[in-house]
Structure 1
Amino acid sequence: MSPGQVRTRFAPSPTGALHLGHAWSAILSHDFAVTHGGTFLLRIEDIDGTRSRPDHVAGILDDLAWLGLRFEGPVFQSERLASYAAALDRLRAMGLVYPCFCTRAEIAASLSAPHGAAVAYPGTCRRLTPAEVQARMGEPHCWRLDMARALALAGPLAWFDHGRRVEADPAPQGDVVLARKDAPASYHLAVTLDDAAQGVTDIVRGVDLFDATHVHRLLQALLGLPTPRYHHHPLLTGPGGRRLAKRDGAPSLAAQRVAGQDGRALADALRRGELPAGLSLAKP
């Protein structure tokens, strides 16, 4: 890596307060950029219109400053909707996406996998005729990637994770959603386009997103975008080995700020591997 050329990013959603798991990921991404003489970027993934809130954006900025992290930005996804629409139009013109009218309940009813098992969409709407599609376009629908066609066009793909070559295999994830009525771009589409637009060279993020990288590598190939280097890191977990999550009420950084804790000291402790009581680092 050439000094000064590395660009990493931290891309939280303003749907709740940040917790120690976010701090861990942000610190790793920040320090990677600093170590290589590069730039650490902040992106706010705020296109979930029903849950994204300005006060959470303010909290994110306060939390990162409290931790002593300097960043460039932020860039807001909500300001990039035209780029998502253009990419979806391009994939549509290539014959690689199709409208899906199935509800979640209908999809669940069509599957026979064991309870809790990860399953791919069975491709119900992919089999609709053009006339059937046209007749239903007034109904609520999402846009799905035709995985088989996309893979046939892209051919074999790979990326590098911690310098190790990984063969891309997105097929098991099926025809993933790229856009919905309530979200102009799915996580897969938005993050792939945003990383390219921001010139991100190295993506430092949790190992829980490793599987998503298979899809992102495919989208990069289809849209002619560069492929960053990836560095998926282990997650911080709480009691019982569960990863920290907003929905499970993980203790927020804001609460620790209000309590008078020293954010820079906390960041340095995390760097040394000194974790707060009850937390541990998941094994790879």
Structure 2
Amino acid sequence: MAKSPPVFRFAPSPNGRLHLGHALSALTNAQLAAHLGGRLLLRIEDIDLTRCRPEFEQGIHEDLGWLGLRFAGEIRRQSEHFADYRAGLERLAGLGLIYPCFCSRREVKAAVRDRELETGEPWRRDPDGAPLYPGSCRDLSEEEGRRRMAAGEPYLLRLDMAQALARLGAELSYTVFDAEGGERLVAAEPERWGDVVLARRDTPTSYHLSVVIDDALQGVSHVVRGRDLEAATDIHVVLQRLLDLPTPLYHFHPLLADETGQKLAKSRQSRSLAELRAQGASADALRRQLGFT
């Protein structure tokens, strides 16, 4: 039986215009897909309905077309598939691994500060630098949780990481691949993330939940993304195992930084591809600048 060709995906969010970092990621995906004889899909990650806008999605298509990129198959828009994510969340809830959390960010910070003062020791941080959730709502009774949710209190749905890891038992790992076809096994460390958020009252999913479900439903076999998301792969491996989904191979490319040394980001108003184009930059020159011929 012939082996299926590998499937890659580029998955931007339409919450701003693409910048050079996005171009690097898209071109790296395209290069590796071509090198390995694979297909490259386009996915629009627009679960944040308050920040994602149609004009930004149109900008994505303009920028990718200008770069000369072509994609296979239909475009998947996450906002059209909330039912898929809800089903995954319900399955995790059925395993007893989800609980509602009613703590605001301010309350979490206050609880952590109190514990630091009490113990005299710094509280653990996750790989992004945020304090681990101290579990204030983890032991609420189901009855109280349902009552507060029904009363309209803002809430998050968290994964009980300790229970999830206890259920999975064996150590978790995933495979990283390189452009030459080499592979190496990497041990996952999901406990360093604590009880991650998987959904909110107004959004029935999160990046972590939606991305693993999308990758499985789209048959993605190779995930290529920036090193800033390398640590988050720990969470994705846990969810893949819990939901009986395949774990793709991963490749993490370097990040681009601005003149201050900070990584390019929409939130920092990094210069967009549209701005570069308006200033006379050519796609060929930009590709050469990023190391692509």
TM-score of the alignment, normalized to the shorter chain, above 0.5: yes
Q: Relative to structure 1, is the Cα distance of residues 256 and 117 closer, same or farther in structure 2, using a 3 angstrom cutoff? A: closer
**Pick aligned residue for 1:159 from 163, 168, 174:** 174
After superposition, residues 172-183 of structure 1 pair within 5 angstroms as 172-183=192-203
Matched, 1:140 2:154: yes
Distance 1:272-1:68 versus aligned 2 partners, 3 A rule: closer
Task: Give the RMSD, CA atoms, in angstroms.
Answer: 1.8
Q: Does 1:108 align with 2:109?
A: yes
CA deviation after TM superposition for structure 1 residue 131, in Å: 3.0
Among 249, 252, 259, the alignment partner of 1:232 is 252
Q: Is the 8 A contact 1:49 1:182 kept in 2?
A: no
In 1: Cα distance, 2:3 partner to 2:226 partner = 24
Match of 1:35 in 2: 35
Q: How many residues align?
A: 272
Deviations for 1:24-81, whole angstroms, at most 9, x for unmatched residues? 0111011110111111111001110110000000100010110111112321001110
**Do the aligned partners of 2:227 and 2:254 also contact (CA within 8 Å) in 1?**
yes
For the 8 Å contact 1:19–1:244, the answer to whether it is kept is yes
1:128 is aligned to 140
Residues 129-182 of structure 1 deviation map (CA, whole Å, 9 limit, x = unaligned): 233223212222111001011001112211011322111110111000000123
Equivalent runs, 1:59-70 vs 2, <5 Å: 59-70=59-70
Q: Is the 8 A contact 2:47 2:79 kept in 1?
A: yes
Query: CA offset at residue 258 of structure 1?
Result: 2.4
- Offset, 1:3: 7.8
**Whole-angstrom CA distance in 2 between matches of 1:136 and 1:95:** 19
Q: CA deviation at 1:208?
A: 0.3
Q: Where does 1:1-284 land on structure 2 (aligned, <5 Å)?
A: 5-72=5-72, 73-112=74-113, 113=122, 117-137=129-149, 138=151, 139-155=153-169, 156-162=171-177, 163-272=183-292
Q: 1:117 to 1:223 in 2, by over 3 A?
A: closer
- How many angstroms apart in 1 are the aligned matches of 2:258 and 2:291? 18
For 1:279, the equivalent position in structure 2 comes to none
What TM-score, normalized to structure 2?
Answer: 0.88
Match of 1:278 in 2: none
- How far does residue 117 in structure 1 lie from its aligned partner after superposition? 4.2
Q: Which runs of 5+ in 1 are unaligned?
A: 274-284
Cα shift at 1:225: 0.3
**TM-score w.r.t. structure 1 length?**
0.91
Code of the residue aligned with 2:161 in structure 1: it is M
Letter of the 2:53 partner, please give it. Answer: R
- Give the superposition deviation at 1:4: 5.8
- Distance in 1, Cα, partners of 2:270 & 2:210: 26
Cα deviations by residue, 1:108-146 (Å, 9 ceiling, x for unpaired): 111134799432111111111233223212222111001
* Alpha-carbon separation, structure 1, partners of 2:102 and 2:138: 10
